[in-house]
Amino acid sequence: MTDIIFEAIRGPWPWYVAGPLVGLTVPLLLFFGNKRFGLSSNLRHMCAAVPAARRNAFFAYDWRRAGGWNLLLFLGIAIGGFIGGVLLANPAPLVVAEPTTAALATAGLSVDGALAPAALFSWSSLFTLRGFVVMVLGGFLIGFGARWAGGCTSGHAIMGLSELQWPSLLAVAGFFIGGLMATHLVLPLVLGL
Q: 31-60: which residues touch other proteins (CB under 8 A)?
A: 31-34, 36-37, 39-40, 42-44, 46-47, 53, 56, 58-59
Which residue's CB is nearer to other proteins, number 3 or number 126? 126
Maximum distance among all Cα pairs of the chain, rounded to whole angstroms? 59
Check binding of 145 to other proteins (CB under 8 A): yes
Check binding of 119 to other proteins (CB under 8 A): no
Q: Of the candidates 114, 129, 189, 193, which one interacts with other proteins according to CB under 8 A?
A: 114
Q: Of the candidates 92, 105, 129, 137, which one interacts with other proteins according to CB under 8 A?
A: 137
Q: Of the candidates 6, 105, 162, 193, which one interacts with other proteins according to CB under 8 A?
A: 162
Check binding of 66 to other proteins (CB under 8 A): no
| Contact track, other proteins, 89-108, x by CB under 8 A | xx---x-xxxxx--xx----
In the complex, what is the shortest distance from the CB of residue 83 to other proteins, in angstroms, rounded to a whole number? 6
